Amino acid sequence: MDFTTRCIHGAVDKTHNTGAVSVPIYQSATFAHPGIGQSTGYDYSRLQNPTREHLEKVIANLEEGTDALAFSTGMAAITALMELFSIGDHIIASEDLYGGTVRLFDNINKKNGLDFDYLDTSDLAKLRSLIRKKTKAIYIETPTNPMMQVTDIQAVAAIAREYKLLVIVDNTFLTPYFQRPLTLGADIVVHSGTKYLSGHNDTLAGFLVTKETDLSEKLRFIYKTTGACLSPFDSWLLIRGIKTLAIRMKRQEENALKLAAFLSSQEKVKKVFFIGLPDHPGFEVSKKQASGFGSMISFEVDTEATAKQVLEKVSLILFAESLGGTETLITYPMVQTHADVPIADRLLRGINECLLRMSVGLEDADDLIEDLRQALS
């Protein structure tokens, strides 16, 4: 079945027989038992809810995994994921991660006894050199946020298999429409469902998708114990958003290609970070492991004054955090998404006062280009 069709019909809902085309919102905290020792399959919505279950089946289907768990936010998903590890465990992670993930790792997980090393995970020799006896997992974003570094998932997975390590991939930027890490050797996929999966900037959500049943069982136990499950109504919003995922991703990528070309031609733009440009270092790897380039663009302008001018002068494009929605958003990483990353680390990664990040939406590309043109003038 084609991916577009699976976005709409990716799971069969057998919980009702009304013929409703839209999955019902089961807005119930608890479920009655037919008798002692008997269950309808649902007991309490923290454990499972029919609306959330439908959504999870859709996500598992799209990522070609065995199970998906829907959380209240992307950070809630990563927080639960870290409960797989014990005091003293070591994790190797991409150095250019979303700032909230770095904040969690460095301020919560380290406090609780986990150890982290950060590097450009496209450097396979250096990655291998960091593996030690207590290493348990490799955590990567590809492409990364916001510098758009690309990691070869299959190559990392091959190294991980040698040392019996988990491979965890944050697939938020490309979604399963363009990239399916589990088919490339990853064990767990992470999503901020708030972004492209929802697609409308109207709800928060997160997902973990597993390749093997044993990981699913461990995470389900953590899930029901810690309790950061996605509500029935938010699950319904995600189900609705995913129905248009394929057509949104295709149009947004088309727009991004045009905007990246425009930005590359501008005198005040010094560098464009977009994996769809042939001169991007990860272009060939991207073509090998993904079917598209997505619609996230970062670009560096000539001065801090120019960066602030763009942020203040855009009118169609919105100066706001987040990404992946129908609206084009522009973000200032140094004061928004990565404000909590230590300054020295941030600058070392290229996140400076001249860097802007843009999530390209569904507007007409010419209108977006004109807005950027006047903002840069």
Given 6, 13, 46, 218, the catalytic residue: 46
- State the pairing for strand pair 329-331/318-319: parallel
218 is catalytic: no
- Whether residue 250 lies in the annotated active site: no
Q: Is 170 a catalytic residue?
A: yes
Q: Is 139 one of the annotated active-site residues of the chain?
A: no
Catalytic residue among 52, 136, 180, 195: 195
Write down the catalytic residue from 67, 115, 152, 170. 170
Q: Which residues are catalytic?
A: 46, 98, 170, 195
